[in-house]
Structure 1
Amino acid sequence: MSRHRMLALAAPWVSCYGWADAYSPSLCVTILTLFGVICMNILTYYRSLVVFACFPCMNFLLTGPSAFATEIARQSDMVVRVWPGEPPEWDTPEKAEQDISTEDSRTVAGHPVIRLSNVRDVELHVFPATTESGKPSPVTVVICPGGAFNILAWDLEGLEVAKRFQEAGVNAAALKYRVPSRKMEPKWQPAVQDIQRSIAMIRAGKVTPNVPAHVGVLGFSAGGNAAFHAATAENRLYKAVDAADAEISPPDFAALIYPAWIVQDDRPDQFREQIEITAETPPMFLAHAENDKHQVFNSVTVFQRLHAVGVPAALHVFTGSGHGFGARIDGRADDLWPELCVRWMRDSGWLLLNNSDSQARTGDE
């Protein structure tokens, strides 16, 4: 590097720290160069320690989002196929499943997002959690990524969220549901079928040997729309395929994170579809940003309807977070929504503060 180039690079630092008042630019360059050499020697000497301490971040930055998500997926206890054979009839994609993200795709919290398309194999990626006494968690949540029913934000709103809830003591199962659903009407139907079947399998002991006392569904954006329909559905949307479907079992609760397409654009106090909220509707947790492109009334109106009939509900509205923030830490207030959701579960008595095991039951009961 030429001397003039080094001076140009050093100029902002010299000006910033006021060194130009006391030292010549040439001397400043010499000092900065020596400082850089010392730092490089230190990093080289302690390279093993640095690599070990920073492995998760380095793995993400150096190998890309797909490899990072694969690493998280390996931490799941198992992957369970949801349908024993072919799923209910739908417009099966002709192309193979793939991540369609590019270098120009939107990032979240400074990192890329895996966008899975052509998903035909419905799977639950299971992250089991335990109480402080080492017994299985009494709560399981099925996590549904968003993606406009066209793709799945698989790491941002799936695997990463499941891992975070597992660490908080909640069993989590990231659902890889079928997309796209371009020809289906309504578009949410395949996703709701996959949610209903997943909950039935969990309650039948086909996912984990210990059946949790409470099974809920958590969804983002389009996944939040599907979670809402699953929580309010009066009937199973597919024909029973085995003993797991012996009973119709709605979720015990639902968490809707910036849900989309629930209310009418021009009449945000009205639902888009004929959905009835009754006293039997499961409790719900809602989180949204006030500046979301999918208006905040998708959550506010749901909360108001629940409150009107006495169904327990919690609503959190964040400032300036936009749409699609997932559960990544970005230094904003919305970073806290997973902890708020877990606290809500505890306040509801499903996940006790002392990690009591009294709420858990086994499949033999």
Structure 2
Amino acid sequence: MKGVIKWLWIMTVLGIWVEVNGCLEQEKAALLQLKKNVGDQLPFIFRSVWLLDYLESWKEDKTSNCCDDWEGVTCGLNSRVVSLSLESPNLGHLSEMHFNASVLHPFEELRELNLTSMGIKSWDEDKGASKLSSKLKSLESLNLQYNNFDASSLSQLHGFLSLKYLFLDENNLEGLQLHDIEAISQNLEELGLRGTEITGFQNNNGSTKLSSSLKVLDLSQNMLDNNIISQLSGFQSLHTLNLRANQLRGVVPLKGSTNLSSSLKVLDLSYTTLDNNIISQLSGFQSLHTLYLRHSQLSGNVPINALHQLRNLEVLDLSENNINGVSNYNGTVTSSPII
């Protein structure tokens, strides 16, 4: 008996655990409850597709191993669930689910949670959403894309200390502000807000703590105007910024954005309406290596004399514009991407 105890102690120190009957019993029970909770709220046509096609592998019998056999479930060496994906290809905005977040509380070592396209509209009141951060202390990635959340329904999510990646794309988050995001996590490195109906961030002035942690920001397909540049001017660590398909027009005030110009490596301004002098506006962005200006309404002769200052530029996409030629530049530029 002492030998067994000693061996278990060694395995604990090394982080190695023997899997007994698949994942932990309480986590298996929580997964089955989650399947039931979601299934009960779905219209019949979606219920049959989601339960039979996607979660058909989630079985209640004792021989079913949720670590090895269940779709969307990944376990660590100690048989604890570390990744859970309930992504549905069929629901999206076609359902309005009230999600009981308390069923997620047992997954204390969960690092990735994907609830994409589940049709979630809100969290069930007093059903655990506000306590998620104290239960899921290891959570690093949260994907809530293609649901029916609004800005107020996200207010119950706060205090995730380990969360680095947050994807809220394709929800109606009109009125969302950076302090709302900061309340969810102050340590985000990547944030997805594509197609969320946001029009800008008010009273920012670069004071948000996200300005020092955020590296990748997707704001594409929104209703942002030229003011977004000044609203993001304090983001000193941002290296990828996607502003594709917004209401940027004319001369975008990029000059003077000291923090952005020193950190940005990838910038997407495609599908906007830009002034022909956009290249000169970017002359100070010496870290930039990828610039997308596809379908940005550039026309005639485009002066790109400042291009030689972008010494690290590797990709320049000027396609789908009405450019006759370029001026004040000794190099060669075409209307196709330069790679």
Q: TM-score, normalised by structure 1?
A: 0.31
Q: TM-score, normalised by structure 2?
A: 0.33
Per residue, is there more helix in 1 or in 2? Answer: 1
